[in-house]
Chains A and B, each alone.
Chain A
Amino acid sequence: MPEPVRSQYEKWGLRGLLQRYPGLCLRPQAHGGALLEGDLEFSAHYGDHEPITDLYTVEIRVEADFPRSIPTVREMGGRIRDGFHTNPSDGTLCLGSRIKLKTALDRHPTLLGFAQNCLVPFFYSCSFREQNGRLPWGDLAHGTPGLLDEYMSRLSVDNEKACLELIMLLGIRKRVANKRPCPCGSGRRVGKCHHRALNLLRAVASRSWFRGEHRRLSE
C-alpha cells in the first residue's frame, strides 16, 4: 500500500468533511482512492443575496494522490437536467477551470476545503439559476477560450498569444524564465515585469503540471 489509508484519511481531513456533511457516506476504492456518495446539504451565502439552502445527491471520486489531483463529481439525483456544465463524455461536473480549482485546493488542501470552495459554490449557482434564471457570478466559455479567459484575468494580459507564452514560462525554471523578455510586450524582462503574477501561479502547481496545461491549451 502506498500510504496507509488511516493516515491518508487524516491528511485529507475526511472526518471534517463527513461531520459537516453527514449525508455523505465513504466507500473505500481500489488503489487508495475513495468514493463519497450521498446527500450534500448546504446553506450558502454570496454577496448581498439571501442565503440558499439546498440538497444535491452526489458522488465524489477522490484519487489516492489528492490534493494533487482534483476530485471528480457527479450529480446523481437528476437535479441538473439540461447538462448544465456537465462533461458530456463521463457526466462529471465542470466545477471550474483547472487552475482555479488548483488554487482553491492549494489554499485549503482538504476535502472539506474542496467542498466549501469548489463544490458548494457550484451547486449554489445551480440553485441560484433555478430561482433567478441567471447565474450569480457568470460562467466561463466552453473549451479552451474559457480556460484562457481565466488565465488572462489572473495574469492581467489582454491577448491570448501573450497568455499562452506566459503559461509556457510557468513550465520552465523561474530563474531561466525571469531572464526572458516579457511576452506582454512591455519590452522589459519577465523578472522586472510579470514575475509577481507568475509566482502566484507557480505556488499552486508544479512546472510539469503547467507544461501539460500549456500543451492542452495549445491544441
Chain B
Amino acid sequence: MNSDNAYANQVLLALVELLDISPSYYDKATERYKSLGEWLHRKESQVGLFSPSVYVQGSFMYGTVIRPLMTSEEYDLDLVCQLNLSKMRVSQRDVKELVGDEVKAYAKAMGIAEPAREKKRCWRLDYADEAKFHMDILPAVPDPEFQTRLLIMEVRQDIAAQAVAITDREHPRYTEVQDDWPESNPKGFTRWFEGRMRPVAQLLLESLVARRLYASVDHVPLYAWKTPLQRAIQILKRHRDIMFKDDVDGKPISMIITTLAARCYGGERELQEALSNIIRKMPEWVRDARPRIANPVHPKEDFADKWHKHPRLEENFWAWHTQAQADLTAVTRPVDESRLRRLVRQKFGADISQERTRTIVGTAVAAGGAAGASAPAIVTIKEPPRPWA
C-alpha cells in the first residue's frame, strides 16, 4: 500500500467512526425484538399457536446503521413477525390483524404512550425513551409456493427457503382468502448479504473469538463484523443524506445503495479500495430494462420500481453517484489539515477532531507522501475572455 492509500484509509476510517452508532444501540435493538418475541409466546398470546418468530431485517441486521443527521431523528428498527400459517387458509387482513392486536397489547403492557399505528404493510411502534427508535413490524407467513418459484429462477436453495408472503392493506384482494399475496425475502437477503463478505470476514471473526469477545465465530452478530463493505455502505449512505438533506423524499433509497454496494464488493480488505471499486462498478448493476435494480434474492422485484413513474428519482440517483465518486476522490487526496476538515464537514457532515486530522496528515508526510496540498492546482490562464456587459 503506498502512502496515499494509507492516508485515504485513515481518513475514511476516521469518518466511519463518526458515523457509526454505539454498540449499545444494537444491544437495545436486540433487547427490543427479543422482548416482542417473548410477548408473542406468553401464555395468553393469540398467536402462540402459530409458532411466531420475530427477527430483524434492514440496516440493524446488516450492521449498516448510521447516526441520523439530526439528533432529534429516530432510528428505524425493522422487524419481521412471522406466523406459521398457510396463506391458503387466511386472508392478508387476518394475519395483519392477528399481529396488530398483539402489538397493541404489547404497547399497552410496556407503557408506550403512542398507540401502535397501522401502515400499508406493517405496524409501527414508537418508543419514546432514551433511545429513540421506532419499530416497524412486518407480518409475514411462509410461502412454499413462492420458494419453489425462486428455486426455478436459480436462487440458492438456502436463500429461497426463507421466502415469505406479506400483507398489503392496498392489495385488491386484501380481505379474501386466496393465494395471491405480496412476496418478500428479508431473511434470504440477509443471508445473501452475509455471503458477500463471509470470505473477508473469516479472519476478522476468528480474531474476535481469539480475543474471547465471542464464544465462537457463529456467535458474532453481523453488526460486529465491521467489514469494508459495511463501512463503505455507511459512508455512501451518509454522503447521500447530506446531498439530499433538503430533498429527503428524492434521495436514493438505502436498499438500492446496500444492494449495489454488496453486488460490487469484491472482497477487498482495505476500505479505500473497497469503496472506490464499489462506486466505480455500480453502474454495471443498473439495467436499462426492468427490473432496473433487481433484488438478488427475488429477481423479479425491482428496488428501483419507482423510477419509471418518477424519472426525477433516477436523475437523483445518477447525480448522487457522480457526486459521490468525485467527492470520495477529493476527500482521499492528500490536502492540508484545514482543507481536510472542511471537506469532510461539507461532504459528510462530520467533524474529524483537530488532533486526529493532525495525526492523519502527519503520518502521510512521515511515510514519504507529498505534503497535503494547501491550494488547488494552478490553472494557467491563456487567451482569457474579456468580461463584457
Chain A contacts to B: CB under 8 angstroms: 1, 5-6, 9, 14-15, 17-23, 25-28, 34, 41-46, 51, 53, 84-87, 93-97, 100-101, 104, 116-118, 120-122, 124-125, 135-140, 142-143, 146-147, 150
Contact = CB atoms under 8 A, between A and B. Distances in A.
Interface in B356-389: 375-381, 384-389
B318 A6 contact: yes
Interface of B: 243, 283, 311-312, 314-316, 318-319, 322-323, 325-327, 329-331, 343, 346-347, 375-381, 384-389
Contacts of A84: 387
**Which of A18, A26, A28, A53 is packed against the most chain B CB atoms within 10 Å?**
A28
Given A43-B379, A122-B387, A140-B386, 19 more contacts: A5-B314, A5-B318, A18-B326, A22-B331, A25-B243, A26-B323, A42-B379, A44-B378, A44-B380, A45-B378, A45-B381, A53-B375, A95-B385, A96-B387, A97-B385, A116-B379, A118-B385, A136-B384, A142-B388
Contacts of B385: 95-97, 100-101, 104, 117-118, 121-122
B329 A140 contact: no
B243 A41 contact: no
Nearest to A86: B389
Given A15-B326, A23-B346, A120 B379 contact: yes
B327 A22 contact: yes
B319 A125 contact: no
A125 B376 contact: no
B315 A5 contact: yes
Contacts of B380: 44-46
Q: Tell which of A19, A22, A44, A135 has the most Cβ of chain B within 10 Å.
A: A22
A139 B375 contact: no
B389 A87 contact: yes
10 contacts: A9-B319, A18-B327, A25-B243, A86-B389, A87-B389, A96-B384, A96-B388, A116-B379, A121-B381, A125-B387
B47 to A, nearest CB: 46
Contacts of A96: 384-388
B123 to A, nearest CB: 35
Contacts of B378: 43-45, 51
Given A15-B325, A124-B381, A142 B389 contact: yes
A22 B243 CA distance: 13
Nearest to A120: B379
A94 B388 contact: yes
Contacts of A51: 378
Contacts of B327: 18, 22
Contacts of A120: 379, 381
Contacts of B311: 1
